Amino acid sequence: MSTARPRTTEPSQTPDHPGPSEPSALSGLIGLGEPSGFSAARPRPGAGPLGLVLPVVCAGCGRWDTAICPQCRAALGADPHPVDHAEAAGDLPVLAGATYAGAVRHLVLAWKSGAREDLDAIMSQAGQALGRAWASLHPPAAVPEPSGSTGALLVVPAPSGPLRRLRGRLVAARLADAVARAVAAQWSEQHPQARLVLSADILRRPLAGGAHQSGRSARGRRVNRARAPRVLADVRGLEALIVDDVVTTGATLGSCHEALRRQGASVLGALALAATPPAHGLRTTGARPRMAGRELASRREQRLGIR
């Protein structure tokens, strides 16, 4: 199997036309234990011929004749906010693009499952908006290069499980590609000699454990992510930005932070497409509120005649 080579993210590239890639200075500095997946973009399959036969509905609200309606599209990235309730992330600064509730939750689930691959471009746009939001808060002058660094910023997606990799649904990696493009473009506008930005899929789940997080309790998520992922590249002296699709307790982001830190990287923060609302309240900009767990359980008990 050939070894993947780093590729630069050029500000002139676009999501659909990434342009030619050239080897970067990192090619001689990063040793790979197995293919790392450094890349600037991935092919994005279209909806295919089924759209000519089957009716299309908005993946967020169910409106007919559109993959995503204007209201749901606006809700997807209309509320960039710091996530303060992801306690398992520790002191890692986390920025989310939307609240994981209502229509936003439906959109993300449909995209992650592969049921709505026609959302690929839309989610890429949301990732780019998130990258621009982060870059505007962290201009090149405010992010000094660490001593001895090559000057590169690694945008690192949270690791996907083996099954998701087999299916090719690397949603965090797709988001990382979009974030890297946006940060590179934003920084280059502010500084002609802005540093290199690389999308680097270099984290893998532990060989044992690390089962899927969906459906687990907060404690279960923390236990499941107690073991840090493996880092496939030499990241000593480099700076990193972690990207994931959804943040709940922050356990995944925290374990990624720890893994990169142990290998000598400096982690600047983390970005997520959406974040679950805090337990004490809801952030529902552009999205339908959801019932709290206790209220939902109470209603179920009433229907079953338990209470």
The C-alpha torsion from 122 through 246 and 42 to 265, rounded to 10°, is 140
Residue 142 has what pLDDT? 81
Residue found under tokens 């499952």: 113
3-class SS of residue 201: coil
Residue 285 CB contacts under 8 Å (≥ 6 apart), including other chains: 75, 78, 79, 98, 99
Which element (helix H / strand E) includes 26? none
Q: Is the dihedral of CA 75, 77, 82, 86 positive or negative?
A: positive
Residue found under tokens 């270099």: 202
Among 69, 67, 73, smallest CA distance to 50 is for 67
Residue 150 has what pLDDT? 63
State whether CATH 3.30.1330 applies to domain 57-287: no
Which element (helix H / strand E) includes 299? helix 293-304
Residue found under tokens 């986390």: 94
pTM summary value:
0.71
* Half-sphere exposure (Cβ direction) of 157: Cα atoms closer than 13 Å: 29
d(CA 186, CA 132): 6
Residue 229 CB contacts under 8 Å (≥ 6 apart), including other chains: 159, 203, 204, 205, 206, 210, 255, 256, 259
d(CA 40, CA 131): 14
Helices (H), 78-209: 102-113, 120-137, 162-167, 171-190
pLDDT 10s digits, 41-84 = 333 344 444 445 567 899 999 999 999 999 999 999 877 899 99
d(CA 78, CA 98): 7
CB 188 within 8 A of CB 153: no
d(CA 156, CA 172): 9
User: What is the phi/psi pair of residue 246, to 5°?
Assistant: -135, 135
Residue 52 has what pLDDT? 53
Residue 281 has what pLDDT? 54
Mean pLDDT by runs of 10 across the 307 residues of the chain is: 44 45 39 39 42 76 93 88 93 96 96 89 95 93 69 93 83 97 93 87 80 50 65 95 97 96 96 90 43 39 40
Residue found under tokens 């959801």: 290
pLDDT 10s digits, 14-47 = 444 444 444 333 433 333 333 344 444 333 344 4
